[in-house]
Amino acid sequence: IIFWKNKPSTFLKEEGYTTRTTLIRAREQYRNHTLMQELEQESAGDFIGFMRMEPGIFKELCRESPLASQWHDNDTNNSRLSHNRLSTNLRHHRGKKGKGNPQKTYMQWQLFIKNEIYYLLYIIPKLAKLKRTRKEEEESQHNFQQLLRTDHQNLVANTDSFECPICFDRITSGGGVILRECLHSFCRECLKGAIIHNEEAYLKCPYHDDSYSCNASLQDREIKALVPVEVYERYLQKSLSTAESQEINSFHCKTPDCRGWCIYEDHVNFFNCPICKKENCLTCKAIHEGVNCKMYQDDLQSPANNNAAAKRTKEMLYDMVNKGDAMHCPQCKVILQKKDGCDWIKCSICKTEICWVTKGPRWGPDWWTNWFNTGYKWLPG
């Protein structure tokens, strides 16, 4: 890179050697410097320009040292190249001092190089990191303010157009709904249809593809804003019925067509329904106002024994259970019958998943023990 007109004896002197090695080490340090990964593009441009400068520019820096008069440059074309790659501070310094300023001492030049390297290696990355931090804070504040603006709204409308994953129509801005729980977007009609045709009390996000199915739920205010009042009331009643059937200590009011129910504790014997205002006896599971429990149970035995149709029905159901053609639900004790298919069944009352072989819950802490005790084994193939 560098040719010597008359190789001076000062080539191996400490100051000349230090000047060259300082710049060479700076260039080598760039190749392994991990801080480069944090530099933004505009900051990295200055750093790369200084550390990857052309040989001619590298020689220009060396030429400004006290030994510059002993160096000879045969690569003048490269000297004109890449001048714009010098950092802003370096160009400002050169323009202020002037090329080959004889007043510049060796110590001043060494200090300048040291400060320049420190600026490029440490100051610029810190400034870039600070800039990114401020940008992230501004974005977070913007998102928070946007969330506050939409918090009072029942539905969050889309700001950008998108393709509905259900009907595949292109939905323009404001024509769709963004679900709060999962941020999936759908058109209003598809979400409305999903609510109307849903048979479960728990309404999940309808998004799914070949590899993923969303388990997030729709919020109550979103459902209420999408469907008519009668559909929303039907959905609420379905949710309450499911919650009632899945609760062990639940009791439904015995008044016909009354929707009242409660969750009782062992020491409570009566339930005053807030809907029909009737008093239910939790011991007898009936309404017998004005009659104590013993009198009511004694009176109950007589019509039950005389009702032949009810007796035959009861005998038939228990006979099916004894033969294995039917079973009691392990949760709500209703009698269930399996028509065909695999051993998985689901109670139509309490929605409990049941294994037909073990006659117990399909999932839970004891399901494997129940399966093993039946004597069944998995067969290969």
* CATH number of the domain encompassing residue 189: 3.30.40.10
Distance CA 165, CA 206 (A): 9
Comparison of pLDDT for 169 and 200, the residue scoring more:
169
- Residue 295 is predicted with a pLDDT of 78
Highest mean pLDDT among 10-19, 32-41, 136-145, 156-165: 156-165
CB 49 within 8 A of CB 85: yes
- For residues 14 and 79, state if they share a domain: yes
Whether the pTM exceeds 0.75: the reply is no
Overall domain count for the chain: 3
- Residue 276 is predicted with a pLDDT of 92
Mean pLDDT for the chain overall: 68
- For residues 293 and 238, state if they share a domain: no
Q: How confident is the model at residue 54 (pLDDT cuts 50, 70, 90)?
A: very low
CB 332 within 8 A of CB 350: yes
Q: What angle do CA 47, 49, 50 make, to 5 degrees?
A: 70
Distance CA 69, CA 136 (A): 52
Amino acid at site 222: E
CB 56 within 8 A of CB 79: yes
Partners of 97 in the β-ladder = none
Please report whether residue 78 resides in a domain.
yes
Residue 219's nearest CA partner among 257, 167, 181 is 181
**286: helix, strand or coil:** strand
The values of phi and psi at residue 355, to 5°, are -95, 120
- For residues 16 and 127, state if they share a domain: yes
Range of the domain at 110: 9-132
Lowest mean pLDDT among 82-96, 237-251, 349-363: 82-96
312 pLDDT more than 60: yes
Which positions are catalytic?
Answer: 342
- For residues 225 and 255, state if they share a domain: no
Distance CA 53, CA 60 (A): 10
Q: How confident is the model at residue 170 (pLDDT cuts 50, 70, 90)?
A: very high
Please report whether residue 218 resides in a domain.
yes
- For residues 279 and 219, state if they share a domain: no
